[in-house]
Structure 1
Amino acid sequence: MSSAGKHKVTLLAGGVGGAKMAEGLAALPDVALSVIGNVADDDNFHGLWVSPDIDTLTYSLGNVIDRNQGWGVADEGHRALETLNKLGADTWMSLGDRDFGLHIYRTMRRRRGDRPSDIARDVARAFGVAAEIVLPTDDTVQTRVRTDAGWLSFQEYFVRERCAPEVRELAFEGLGQARPTPGALEAVRAADLIVIAPSNPLVSIAPILGVPGIADAVQASAAPKIAVSPFIAGKVVKGPADRMMQALGERADAIGVARRYRGLAASLFIDHADAALGGAIRAEGLEPVCSRILMQTQEDKARLAREIVDLAFAPAHLEANA
């Protein structure tokens, strides 16, 4: 535990599922939270740089998220989008008026030459976020999805096409040349506990771990490492992870997640509905931990976070990770 009397917890997270896990951890009084978020979904819309997963983390931890849809800002209007539509612009990427304000600010700062990490930090502070929101890289990394119709940006696949096309291949443009931010490496190095959120392993977590140096730092860390499965009974709560993994020849269940995180995490939280998969998960080198992992309420988020932290710092778990 840190000198401030709090466990330093570093969470690797994508959008909605990652934000829920972040909210749960942030609610614990004995946790000092850093969240390394996914930037590979970022893209340019209407001349503005949009960072969907980082914004979802910020809006959630700032308690201004639209909780009905899981993204965007609550009590939102769409007058700017209506004007763009009237002018003939392509408006399939739904951005609210308040959301536009953030994208304008981010783009202004980027054009001024400010580091994306500094911008993300300042935005989080302005929204009253106590946790550290950390970018894995300040370089541009973008997910590309190959379908039968050709290559699409992730937002074209996810929003415009509503995940309908079959995924044939994934690529992360710029990932191999990306440099890790000092903040991301420090968040991993200083962590007392590293948690992998129940985010899409393919397009949320992989682009974080794929930034050169980050996976190595996670592996080198002596901190307990715990992952949470995004699957319950072979289905995801939200998003296309199940269809994507099936299409790419991977198991779309907690076993597939265990294979993805083999060598990175020591334990995997799974739902009680997947208890029968425990033996197969153990064979992949991760210790399964059954719980109720569906996070529908703030109480659910805090309860699951409490279970993760308590497991990590239980004497038996600490001895196993020593």
Structure 2
Amino acid sequence: MRITVLAGGVGGARFALGLREAAPDDQISIVANVGDDMWLAGVKVCPDLDSLLYALAGVGDTERGWGRAGESERVSAELTAYGVGWPWFTLGDLDLGTHLARAAMLRDGATLTEATARLSARWPLGVTLLPVTDDEVPTHVVTDEGTMHFEEWWVRTRAQLPARRFVQHGVERSRVSAQARAAIAQADVILLAPSNPVVSIGTIVGIPGVRDALETAAAPIVGVSPIIGGRVVRGMAATCLATIGVEADAAAVAAHYGARSRGGLLDGWLAAEEDAAGLPRLRELGIRAEARPLLLTPGGPAAQVAADALALAARVSSPAG
């Protein structure tokens, strides 16, 4: 079976680990958000791709939830001493090795998809990592104090500076990569990971060609809620949702995605047991919604969440389901 996942960083990585365990014999492709990407101190940094890469390779820092395990930060300290880069955005030395390698590949003419494949080849990931586009579409945040890159708003201000809107710079000139489009078109199941609905999944779907590919895909599309009991599991997605006028609520996020039968994205929606009360209204919207335990803790629980998402996809696609 061919499974394609649309994913952001940390939540996407945890879900991907569970999916790899739940479906070890299947062909898994992960179409990743690149809106957080940037050039910093001369290197190309791809936060979501790298979170996925490191987690699947087993070399990620599980305590911090980002970056490499066993890091040192001597190079970043030197850069700060020279006044280069962002002093509040620390790149570990091992992490910088990845960014330097990627930057070298890109400068030699490789696409981001090609560079990602070369970086991924170092480890047996068990999945194919695909940036949604080879074009640069950095997410900018418009605030009352000016416009800034998403990572500055997210890391330096801790999302405390009110955001007026999110803008993907250059998105109108971008195109979904041929590899990402093929992964969607050829999938037997398409899953939306429990990633930030606005700046991760929203950015992926906003790339020209992605929504068309999803609308015409033969595979069922099932989303996994990033909200449990009315609370965002990780990160500051509630702030992003508030910016676009969506409540931090599992059913509200599913309604925001919409039913594919009515021009939206979803055929099915997997929510947490704590949010079961809000699901009947989704069925009225044309989304088959079910409630299961959703905590993505390592090992069995994360694999069970992935297995439940696949089972829901099977029921969605079955006439008798």
Same fold (TM over 0.5): yes
C-alpha deviation, 1:241, in angstroms: 1.2
Counterpart Cα distance in 2 of 1:285 and 1:241: 25
Counterpart Cα distance in 1 of 2:142 and 2:285: 29
5+ long unaligned stretches in structure 2: none
1:253 correspondence with 2:254: no
Alignment of 1:183-198 (within 5 A): 183-198=179-194
Counterpart Cα distance in 1 of 2:217 and 2:50: 28
Counterpart Cα distance in 2 of 1:252 and 1:281: 15
- Are the equivalent residues in 1 in contact too, given 2:268–2:313 (CA < 8 A)? no
Alignment correspondent of 2:64: 69
Alignment correspondent of 1:18: 12
In the superposition, the TM-score normalised over structure 1's length comes to 0.94
Alignment correspondent of 2:132: 136
- Are the equivalent residues in 2 in contact too, given 1:41–1:51 (CA < 8 A)? yes
Q: How many residues align?
A: 314
1:150 correspondence with 2:146: yes
C-alpha deviation, 1:317, in angstroms: 4.0
Alignment correspondent of 1:96: 92
Alignment of 1:1-322 (within 5 A): 7-27=1-21, 28-89=23-84, 90-262=86-258, 263=260, 264-314=265-315, 317-319=317-319
TM-superposition CA deviations, 1:206-238 (whole Å, max 9, x none): 111111111111111121110001011221111
Counterpart Cα distance in 2 of 1:122 and 1:195: 25
TM-superposition CA deviations, 1:80-113 (whole Å, max 9, x none): 1122222333321111000000000011111111
Q: Aligned letter for 1:218?
A: L
- Are the equivalent residues in 2 in contact too, given 1:227–1:269 (CA < 8 A)? yes
- Are the equivalent residues in 2 in contact too, given 1:254–1:281 (CA < 8 A)? no
The 3 A distance-change label for structure 1 pair 261 and 247 is: closer
5+ long unaligned stretches in structure 1: 1-6
In the superposition, the TM-score normalised over structure 2's length comes to 0.94
Deviates more, 1:278-287 or 1:260-269: 278-287
SS at match of 2:171: coil
Deviates more, 1:296-305 or 1:59-68: 296-305
- Are the equivalent residues in 2 in contact too, given 1:59–1:127 (CA < 8 A)? no
C-alpha deviation, 1:299, in angstroms: 1.7
Deviates more, 1:246-255 or 1:57-66: 246-255
C-alpha deviation, 1:154, in angstroms: 0.5
Counterpart Cα distance in 2 of 1:285 and 1:274: 18
C-alpha deviation, 1:62, in angstroms: 0.7
Counterpart Cα distance in 1 of 2:283 and 2:12: 24
Q: Aligned letter for 2:233?
A: V
Q: Aligned letter for 1:308?
A: A
- Are the equivalent residues in 1 in contact too, given 2:251–2:278 (CA < 8 A)? yes
Alignment correspondent of 1:3: none
